[in-house]
Amino acid sequence: MRILAPRLKEAFALLPEGVEVRFLDEPWPKAADFFIPPFGQEEVVRRVFQEVEVKVVQTLSAGVDWILPLVPEGVVLCDGSGIHDAPVAEWVVLALLALLKDLPGFLKAQREGRWAPKRLGDLEGKKVLLLGYGAIGKAVAERLKPFGVELLPVARHPRPGVYTREDLPALLPQADAVVLLLPLTPETQRIVDRDFLAQMKEGALLVNAGRGGLVDTLALLEALEAGRVRAFLDVTDPEPLPEDHPLWRAKGAVITPHVAGLSEGFSRRAARFLSEQVGRYLRGEPLLNVVREGY
């Protein structure tokens, strides 16, 4: 068996014996059982599909919107769901606490040398709507429960204790915070538009750990400037955000550069996942995380 991949040696530390890994900075083979695409490098990905016969594309990202249009017909696409659950969930908790405890305001006061005490918000007792309730959504829920929040999970398909998008008009006015964890598909593109933001509770928090394209950026700017919501964003549209973009300086916004899933434990988690996935392939068992309908 052969894998073609970026040079991420630690991620291949647990592969079964006999599996050959060829790196993208080496001569490419004519065929590869698995291709692990480098995130965001579309030209390299296109060339691989032109020059290499690939059976399975395995992303190490949970989202596949960036590669879905490039995958040739007949090639199996699997996402990296499960690899990023813990760090993204930790980032969401950070975002909620930072906004509720006004960390941006205290950092500004520190830079200005001002002693500026104020009454702070509590996470306890807040209603947090999780828009997207897959593996990452469940990891977020597990970490928020000890804080005493009321969770409002929303998923694509109804199940006990889980709402659907049809319930959003009733849920949004209740939620103190909305956490975006959806994949980007034609169905979810700009789901957070003017109507969505207008239905949110006055002063609510919007936390985006999904994809920038889930949000209508102009509508969000208007809501931020009006003081209707505050936002903590790990992803933006456009991305990377140009240095002169008004979102950088928008009132009530905090931005990190798509780092929620980047952590020191990535290689360890990727190695465990790839060991299991490749083992399944070699044993002829069903693969994990096969993408259907963009999910």
- Same domain as 231, residue 155: yes
- Same domain as 77, residue 89: no
Please give the pLDDT value at position 9: 76
- Same domain as 179, residue 242: yes
- Same domain as 231, residue 150: yes
Q: Are 29 and 2 in contact (CB under 8 A)?
A: yes
Average pLDDT over the chain, rounded to an integer: 96
Please give the pLDDT value at position 294: 59
The CATH number of whichever domain residue 60 belongs to comes to 3.40.50.720
Please give the pLDDT value at position 295: 59
Active site residue 258: yes
Q: Is the pLDDT of residue 25 over 70?
A: yes
- The single residue of 84, 228, 230, 258 carrying the catalytic annotation is 258
pLDDT band at 293 (very low <50, low <70, confident <90, very high): low
Active site residue 90: no
- Same domain as 145, residue 113: yes
- The single residue of 211, 228, 230, 269 carrying the catalytic annotation is 211
Q: Are 214 and 184 in contact (CB under 8 A)?
A: yes
- Same domain as 248, residue 198: yes
Average pLDDT over residues 68-86: 95
Active site residue 239: yes
Please give the pLDDT value at position 292: 83
pLDDT band at 120 (very low <50, low <70, confident <90, very high): very high
pLDDT band at 158 (very low <50, low <70, confident <90, very high): confident
Q: Is the pLDDT of residue 115 over 90?
A: yes
Domain of residue 144, residue span: 85-255
- Same domain as 231, residue 89: yes
Q: Are 103 and 279 in contact (CB under 8 A)?
A: no
Q: Could you report the per-residue pLDDT of 47-56, keeping only the tens digit for each? A: 999 999 999 9
Q: Are 144 and 167 in contact (CB under 8 A)?
A: no
- Same domain as 135, residue 54: no
CA atoms within 13 A on the CB side of 72: 15
Please give the pLDDT value at position 148: 98
Q: Please report whether residue 291 resides in a domain.
A: no
- Same domain as 278, residue 183: no
Pick from 46, 41, 39: which is nearest to 62 by CA? 39
Q: Could you report the per-residue pLDDT of 187-224, keeping only the tens digit for each? A: 999 999 999 999 999 999 999 999 999 999 999 999 99
Q: Other C-beta atoms within 10 Å of 195: how many?
A: 12
Q: Is the pLDDT of residue 20 over 70?
A: yes
- The single residue of 90, 150, 222, 239 carrying the catalytic annotation is 239
Average pLDDT over residues 225-245: 97
- Same domain as 271, residue 247: no
Q: Could you report the per-residue pLDDT of 249-282, keeping only the tens digit for each? A: 999 999 999 999 999 999 999 999 999 999 999 9
Q: Are 136 and 85 in contact (CB under 8 A)?
A: yes
